[in-house]
Amino acid sequence: MKYYFEGIPILKYGEIWDKYTDKERLQYALGGLLYTPASNEKIVQTLLEQKYPHLKAWAFCLEDSIQENGLLEAEKRLVDSLRQLNDAVLTKRLAISDMPLLFIRVRSAAHLARFYPQIASYDHLLTGFIAPKFEPQNMKDYGEWLKALNHNREFPLYLMPILESESIIDLRQRLDNLSILKDYLDTIQPWILNIRVGGNDFANRFALRRNIHQNIYEIGLLNSVLMDILNIFGSDYVVSAPVWEYFGTAEEMAWQKGLQEELKLDRLNGFIGKTAIHPAQLSLINRALLVSEEDYQDALQIVQWSPDETLGVIKGVGSKRMNETRVHKRWAKKILALADIYGVTTNNDEQ
């Protein structure tokens, strides 16, 4: 699966990957995770037609996007969509390697346990499940189910917890609860693909909302929550940035400019990827994950550092900055992983 962007010079294309790719690479591959209600009747058509070339990960939502009185109908629609997709794979009209990573967002661990038997025959199409409002009170319910599901399984089904609950927003208990979650997730880390963050839930607590010309980092209360999450999880997990809730046509520039500004801050602060609510957002999100040639060459220099070298520092490839083999090693490995997935641009101004 290769991506390019018109008008942007590309030095290296992203390499082919799919749901069977090892987690160390796959965790970087979600890019823009597009949400759609599970009741969407065009899921199969969209995938057969490969309608959205930048769609790398797709979440079928059975939670906030579905009213309680529409849940059973949405479940039936999703089961039918998965059945049709499975038929398409069996008849070779569609290959799993040509599909985005597919996830189901459930309502709770109990809902997951109830609904899973309905789609068990088609779970080989899925990459995993999304757990909303993940917190200490429900983490073990999800975790025990996840461990049982993956017992003796050849290819894993992953879980992506969303940190968005009241117990995380409230400063008086935030760090304790984030630490509890981190300690528990570490026990099931092989099956945790990403940590997701629910920005709108955080904003709702304080009755706040950014406009099209603002970014989430300008809201001090929300910035505080996001930084605490990155501080606890960012060194051991890929953490994805909150949704940008504005979209429009290609000719309408305000939403694009706002999203691009927020994406720069996402990347600078350590987020990788972003939740998307409209296909128009996907190319911008994926574009923001391209690696500049300067970063790529410096990362190669750092990971290829010979142990026989007497110096631990050297000028970067462009002679504009200093590279330190020990200080920048983890950064370099991340850059090379992103380069493998998204590619490298010769335009160093992209980042």
Domain boundaries, the chain: 31-289
First-residue to last-residue Cα distance in the chain: 22
Residue at 151: amino acid letter: H
pTM of the model: 0.93
> What single-letter amino acid sits at 26?
L
Any idea which of 71-80, 112-121, 130-139, 202-211 has the lowest mean pLDDT?
202-211
The pLDDT confidence band at residue 2, using thresholds 50, 70 and 90, is very low
Please give the Cα distance from 272 to 266 (Å, whole number): 7
Look at the block and give the residue holding tokens 């039936």. 76
Q: How many CB atoms lie within 10 A of CB 76?
A: 13
Condensed to tens digits (0 to 9), the pLDDT of residues 237-269 reads 999 999 999 998 766 789 999 999 999 999 999
Taking Cα atoms as reference points, which of 182, 279, 306, 198 lies closest to residue 232?
Answer: 182
Report the alpha-carbon distance of residue 31 to residue 195 in Å, rounded.
13
Q: Among 34-38, 161-165, 303-307, which stretch is predicted with the lowest mean pLDDT?
A: 303-307
Q: What is the CATH number of domain 31-289?
A: 3.20.20.60
